[in-house]
Amino acid sequence: MEKISGMGKETSEISDHIKLHIENGKILSLKTHRVSKSVEEHIKEAVGLILDRLTYPTLVPTLYTIIKELAINACKANQKRVFFEERGYSMLNPSEYAKGVREYREMFSEEMSNEFGIKAKKKGYYCLINFKYNDDGILIEVINNTPIAKEEEKSIRERLEKGMMYDDIAQFYIDNADTSEGAGLGLALILIMLKGEGIDPNYFRIIIGEDSTIARLEIPLSENFVSSRESN
């Protein structure tokens, strides 16, 4: 892995699917098309560099886990878009959407993720992780530049509502052991993890636009922190 050092601003091409924007030795953004081991390491490095002054030892693994989950979701959403386009399925047609999602899940594998990550890059689809921070707080956004279907939006809202109902991860797993939602439960787990760190889960939002989806997480570090909700 390329060592990040030095002062000033720079953009580094780490590999054919990772681009970093760095300022004063800290990662400000990471752009990728699939979540590889190298991407995971750079997420971990970014979190560590940003949080190195803080006295929240458990926050580093928690924040890393959350960002990784969101990045995987974003990359999979882009790859699923490519899958639908190749098969001529419409994400606006409920029956075609259900069929496409079923086929995608049945076929999904690590090899397929790499293949469709390359295809997503060629089509201009990406996952962008932005880090903004100061002494008062941290703002992290995970963005993918593809729209989502109405059925998927509904599912996201349901998962977030479910996460709000729990404070204990173990109890959540017990109650949802037989669920068919699979990896989508990660959104609910994010809210539970935030509660476990004493962070208001309302600081986590999914913002759905016409051509993009943004997962935004804010972490207050002082009483002077102003949420983007309040500043807009």
Q: Per residue of the chain (232 residues), give pLDDT as tens.
A: 344 444 467 888 877 788 999 887 788 999 999 998 999 999 998 888 887 766 666 788 999 999 999 999 999 999 999 999 999 999 888 899 889 989 998 888 888 888 998 999 999 999 999 999 888 889 999 999 988 888 888 888 888 888 898 888 888 877 776 554 454 578 888 999 999 889 999 999 999 888 899 999 999 988 888 888 765 5
The 3-class SS string of 82-114 reads: HHHHHHCCCCCCHHHHHHHHHHHHHHCCHHHHH
**4 assigned to some structural domain:** no
**121 assigned to some structural domain:** yes
**131 assigned to some structural domain:** yes
**191 assigned to some structural domain:** no
**26 assigned to some structural domain:** yes
Domain of 110?
Answer: 11-147+199-220
**104 assigned to some structural domain:** yes
**183 assigned to some structural domain:** no
Contacts of 201 by beta carbon, 8 Å cutoff, 6+ apart: 163, 164, 191, 194, 195
Let me know how long the chain is: 232
Q: Residue 115's closest CA among 159, 79, 141?
A: 79
Contact 219, 137 (CB under 8 A): yes
Number of structural domains in the chain:
1
Q: Residue 150's closest CA among 206, 92, 81?
A: 92
